[in-house]
Amino acid sequence: MALEEFEKEELNDRDKGYLRMRSIMDYGMGLLWMGMGLFMIFIKKFNAELAERYDASAFKIFGAVCIIYGLFRIYRGYKKKYFRDR
């Protein structure tokens, strides 16, 4: 069976439910990671006391990494390629 034929194969109800659950989880976690990244980048507006204790550049770098990972999770939820190992 060629790879193209396998990709067009119909999924059963269990696999469709699994796809939907993983996709929703990836969207939600992506939004949470992006929210945490924005919080870290704009830490001075949210919590000035915490921002004074630590280096501002470390917060900005970690915030950028969180936003990039959040975008990746949203992309993964959009593509829904969870069954590659079969």
Q: Which of 50, 27, 28, 25 is nearest to 39 (CA)?
A: 50
Domain-embedded: residue 5: no
Domain-embedded: residue 60: yes
**Domain residue limits at 66:** 33-81
Task: Report the number of secondary-structure helices (H) and strands (E) in the chain.
Answer: 5, 0
pLDDT per residue as tens digits for the range 3-24:
455 556 677 888 888 888 999 9
3-class SS of residue 9? coil
Q: How far apart are CA 18 and CA 12, in angstroms?
A: 10
Least confident of 17-21, 39-43, 68-72: 17-21
Q: How many domains does the chain have?
A: 1
